[in-house]
Amino acid sequence: MREADRSPDGGSFVYPVGDERGGERLDRFLAAEAAAAGANLSRTRLKGLIEAGLVSIDGATVKDASQAVRGGQVIGLNVPAAVDPTPLGEDIPLKIVFEDAHLLVLDKPAGLVVHPAAGHEAGTLVNALIAHCGASLSGIGGVRRPGIVHRLDKDTSGLLVVAKTDAAHQGLAKTFADHGKTLALAREYLAFVWGVPARPSGVVDAPLGRHAIDREKIAVVPASRGRHAVTHWRVIERFGEEASLIACRLETGRTHQIRVHMAHCGHPVLGDPVYAKGFKSKAARLPPEAQARLNALSRQALHAALLGFPHPVTGAAMRFESALPPDLQNLADALSVSGNPMPFVPILDRR
C-alpha cells in the first residue's frame, strides 16, 4: 500500500491490484486493503465513499461498489477528515405542507437524503431541519436523526412527518410501530412498475432481510431470518402491456419494502437501479417519449402520495396527499396509451 497527503483523521490512499486479486468487488477489495493497513473502514462506509465519488480506478472516478477490479489497476481512495458528529444547520429549501408547534409534514424531493450517513455528511434533510426548527427539534432520534420518526429512500419522493418536540416524537413513534393495527395510520405510495399484474389488486406477505450474498441489498428470505413485511397493492392505470401505475399501502415499514416486494412479484419499479436491473431491456418496448422520460428519471419511480395519522398531541385526524412530482407526471403522460395527461386523483377516491 502506498499513501499520500495523509492526515490523522483522513487521507489519500493508493492501492495497486495484484493479479491474484483480479475479479474482486471494488468494495471488498478496499475493505480488505484498509483492514490490512489497520484502518477502521467498514464496507458500508466504503460504499458511501464510492457513491460519493471519492474512489478512482486508474485515475477515473467510479461510483459502483460492485464493479470488479483487475490485476494491474491502481485504486485511489480519498477519506475525508473526520467531522463533528453533530450535524450543522444548512439553508436548504423545504416544501412544508403543514406545521404546528409539535410537528411538520413536508414533501421531500427525490435526491434528498434524510439523515447524515457515510458519504452524505451534509446536505441532508436533518441539516435543513436543524436550520428551520432550531432548538425545538426533538432530540429523541439522537444527534444524527433528530426529529426523524420514519424515512424515505434518497430517491423516493413524497410525504414525511417530522417531530419537533419529544412528546410528538414519542406519540408518532408509537403510531408507526403499531403499523395501523390499533391506531389510525395510512401510508400509500404510487409506483410505476414493469408489466401488468394479472389481478387488479393483491397482497404481498413475504419476510424481508439482508441479501445472503450482497449485504447492501434487501431480499425476500425465510421467516426464520427475516422480518414480517406486508404490502397491499392495487392497479390504478395500465400503460399497454409494458407498464402499470399501482398504489401500494404499507402494513409494515421495512427498508426497500415496496421495491423488493414488487420485484418479487415480477413487477419491479421502473428506474430502480438495484431491483430492476434485469428489466432494462424492456425499455426498448416503450414509446420513444416514454423511453426518453425514463432515461431522464435517474431514480426509482416511487412516490409517497398519502400520509394519514392521529396528531400525537391533540389526537386530531391528520391526512395529507401529494401529487406526482413533475418528473413522474411527465413519465405518466408519456406512458399514457391515449396520449392524454393523466390527472392526479386523490388515492382514496380511486378505490
pLDDT tens per residue across span 53-74 = 899 999 999 999 899 999 999 9
CA 52 – CA 118 distance, rounded (Å)? 9
For the cut 90, the answer to whether the pLDDT of residue 330 exceeds it is yes
Residue 350: predicted pLDDT:
40
For the cut 60, the answer to whether the pLDDT of residue 241 exceeds it is yes
CA 73 – CA 91 distance, rounded (Å)? 41
> Between 45 and 330, whose confidence is greater?
330
Task: Kindly tell me the sign of the dihedral angle through the C-alpha atoms of 296, 298, 299, 300.
Answer: positive
Please state the length of the chain: 351
Q: Is 153 marked active-site?
A: yes
| Pair 264, 209: CB distance under 8 Å | no
Band the pLDDT of 346: cuts 50, 70, 90.
very low
CA 129 – CA 195 distance, rounded (Å)? 39
For the cut 80, the answer to whether the pLDDT of residue 192 exceeds it is yes
| Pair 160, 106: CB distance under 8 Å | yes
Most confident residue range from 14-18, 130-134, 158-162, 332-336: 158-162
Residue 257: predicted pLDDT:
96
Q: Domains of the chain (ranges plus CATH)?
A: 2-79 (3.10.290.10), 96-178 (3.30.2350.10), 186-350 (3.30.2350.10)
Burial profile 278-312: b = 16 or more Cβ within 10 angstroms, e = fewer: ebeebbeebbeebeebbeebebbbbbbbbbbbbbb
What cell does 231 get?
Answer: 404490502
Residue 200: predicted pLDDT:
95
Show the 3-state SS of the chain: CEEEEEECCEEEEEEECCHHHCCCEHHHHHHHHHHHCCCCCCHHHHHHHHHCCCEEECCEEECCCCCECCCCCEEEEEECCCCCCCCCCCCCCCCEEEECCCEEEEEECCCCCCCCECCECCCCHHHHHHHHHHHHCCCCCCCCCCCECCCCCCCCEEEEEEECCHHHHHHHHHHHHHCCCCCCCEEEEEEEEECCCCCCEEEEECCEEECCCCCCCEEECCHHHCECCEEEEEEEEEECCCEEEEEEEECCCCCCHHHHHHHHCCCCECCCCCCCHHHHHHHHHCCHHHHHHHHHHCCCCEEEEEEEEECCCCCCEEEEECCCCHHHHHHHHHHCCCCCCCCCCCHHHHC
pLDDT tens per residue across span 158-184 = 999 999 999 999 999 999 988 777 778
Among 27, 107, 153, 272, the one annotated catalytic: 153
Q: What is the pTM of this model?
A: 0.74
Compute CA 300 distance to the chain's CA centroid, rounded to the nearest angstrom: 9
Residue 81: predicted pLDDT:
67
Residue 85: predicted pLDDT:
64
Residue 110: predicted pLDDT:
96
Q: Among 1-5, 23-27, 106-110, name the one with the lowest average pLDDT.
A: 1-5
Give, rounded to a whole angstrom, the gap between the first and last alpha carbons of the chain.
61
CA 18 – CA 279 distance, rounded (Å)? 35
pLDDT tens per residue across span 70-98 = 999 999 998 876 555 678 889 999 999 99
Residue 168: predicted pLDDT:
93
Of all residues in the chain, what percent carry a pLDDT higher than 70? 90
Burial status of residue 246 (CB atoms within 10 A of its CB: 0-12, 13-18, 19 or more): buried
